Amino acid sequence: MKVILYMAISVNGMIARDNDDTSWVSKDSWKSYLEIISKTGAAIVGNKTFQLMKKDEFIENCTYVVVSRKEQKISSDNILSATSVKSALELLESKQISQACIIGGGEINAAFMKAGLIDEVFLDIEPILLGKGIPLFKNSQFTSKLELIETRKIWEGTLQLHYRVVSV
């Protein structure tokens, strides 16, 4: 399974303010995110981020897997629950899904990267510095080498970096 990490981040690597606010993320970054999610057809999200998502942030023809330490009771055909990063991937593979996009938050990003399960990384770097916030990878130590695939300007001041994960 191909696993892609997609995140909008501040210049100093934050994915949200301390209060989970992401209103600083550009509309063009949001549009690019929706394109990637639509293309992969599956998204993996941590429980806290899932609880913060608004209804209009879910794509109709996309399968979502919520990763939580405890099994979640979810009443939806396209929203599934898993208790580990590996079981999330196994669940998607059992549905014949071959690509998935990790959409946060910082803990789930770190768990997938530390486990060596991420193949590509898309970072939309927004022109803002956040003194306090939630880091891209929360509470984890690892080193991963990346190979740059592409850079592009997606909005006035917003750059998208696309990397291949070479080693963890």
- The model's pTM: 0.95
- Number of independent structural domains in the chain: 1
Q: DSSP for 3-63? A: EEEEEEEETTSEEE-TT---TTS-HHHHHHHHHHHHHH-EEEEEHHHHHH--GGGS-TT-E
Instruction: Tell me the pLDDT tens digit for each residue of 98-137.
Output: 999 999 999 999 999 999 999 999 999 999 999 999 999 9
Rounded to 10 degrees, the C-alpha dihedral 125/128/134/136 comes to 20
Tokens of 158: 């917003």
Q: Could you list the residue range(s) of the whole structural domain that residue 139 is in?
A: 2-167
Mean pLDDT of the chain: 95
Tokens of 114: 């530390």
Instruction: Tell me the pLDDT tens digit for each residue of 44-84.
Output: 999 999 999 988 788 989 999 999 998 888 878 899 999 99
CATH number at residue 42: 3.40.430.10
Per-residue pLDDT, 67: 97
